[in-house]
Amino acid sequence: MQIFRDVRDAHLPGPTFLTIGNFDGLHRGHQVLLARLRANAANAGGQSALLTFDPHPLAVLRPDTPLHLLTTPLERLTLAGNLGVDVGIVQPFTRELAQLEPSAFLQLLHTHLGLAGLTVGPDFALGRDRSGTLDVLTELGRQMGFGVDVVEPVAVAGEEVRSYTIRQALREGQVERVASLLGREYTVSGQVAHGDHRGRTINVPTANLQVDENRLLPADGVYATWAWIGDAVRAPRLAGVTNVGMRPTVGGTERRVECHIFDFPAPGESGEIYGQTVTLAFVQRLRAEQRFANLDELIVQIQRDITAARRVLGVDTSGNANGPLTNADKR
């Protein structure tokens, strides 16, 4: 995928078939829309392009509203590129951009992208006060020489796929339902940082991930997870169990994401991963976070969680789950 950081930096010859939006999560509904976009481009001998925004429009227009994002702009473009979209544009969102009339914004797209078609959802609108409705865009398209193709929402098991539905399911810890709506498991990434180093004392070390504050986390609890250290594309997939929450048994005061990676490091490896990025895929919620009477009770439950996670992930349950698995942060 060819990526531009502003539509003004792109000088595409066209014909370009474009879709515009936040595309947070790039869920199965978005994927169907992108498939139509690519088909429209292919039928016309053109290229497909996706334009998304950074920062999120809410961060500019309603800065006091907390953001709970499923994906970063770069993650959205990476996912779209994997689906075959040719061009990605991360458009800086400003108050000045928000005040543009639909015709002015479309003229930018026409000039810099060789716009030949828009592929959008039924609720799409652009421009000042969302005045560029589908009817307005269709008329502007007649004048400027591009078409407008509307793709209806997608339903999975009778449920319409929407980003806000996925967010609500995450808040309830329903990661399997989220995976069904996304078409893949939900992932978060973060650098491994120092913490309490408590896990070393109970022989269940964990990597403490510093996740962006705007990234939506699943409900507090314990999850079976896959982990990738470093490059999530090329790195091997590692099984583990992850705790999201406050750690009430040990008097935790901040919400953390801590992953215990099974069978890591391999014999002869150091396993030192401080400062590296770890990506987690949430497979199944094992239980809610809870307070135990003492550390011994917590240790017993952790061993049960490890066994349960191994079973869910289909990895060997006969190995030594208590072995020294990582030198990363300790629970």
Task: State the average pLDDT over residues 137-151.
Answer: 96
Residue 295: what pLDDT?
A: 83
**DSSP one-letter string for 192-216:** EE-----GGGGT-B-EEEE--TTBP
Last residue of a domain, one of 137, 156, 175: 156
Task: State the average pLDDT over residues 267-287.
Answer: 88
Count CB neighbours of 144 within 10 A.
Answer: 14
Residues 14 and 152 in one domain: yes
**Which one has a higher pLDDT value, 245 or 39?**
39
Confidence of residue 329 (pLDDT cuts 50, 70, 90): very low
Domains held by the chain: number: 2
In this structure, is residue 161 part of a structural domain? no
3-state secondary structure of 46: coil
For the stretch 155-187, pLDDT in tens is 998 889 999 999 999 999 999 999 999 999 999
Residue 319: what pLDDT?
A: 40
Residues 234 and 141 in one domain: no
Which H or E run includes 120? strand 115-120
Confidence of residue 34 (pLDDT cuts 50, 70, 90): very high
- From the number of C-beta atoms within 10 Å of its C-beta (0-12, 13-18, 19+), residue 217 rates as middle
In this structure, is residue 309 part of a structural domain? yes
The span from the CA of 141 to the CA of 120, in Å, is: 13
In this structure, is residue 221 part of a structural domain? yes
Lowest mean pLDDT among 127-136, 156-165, 196-205: 196-205
**Which one has a higher pLDDT value, 137 or 205?**
137
Residues 13 and 123 in one domain: yes
pTM, two decimals, is: 0.88
In this structure, is residue 331 part of a structural domain? no
Residues 114 and 24 in one domain: yes
Residue 247: what pLDDT?
A: 74
Give the domain extent around 251: 185-313
CATH number at residue 279: 2.40.30.30
Task: State the average pLDDT over residues 127-155.
Answer: 95
Residues 81 and 201 in one domain: no
In this structure, is residue 328 part of a structural domain? no
For the stretch 13-23, pLDDT in tens is 889 999 999 99
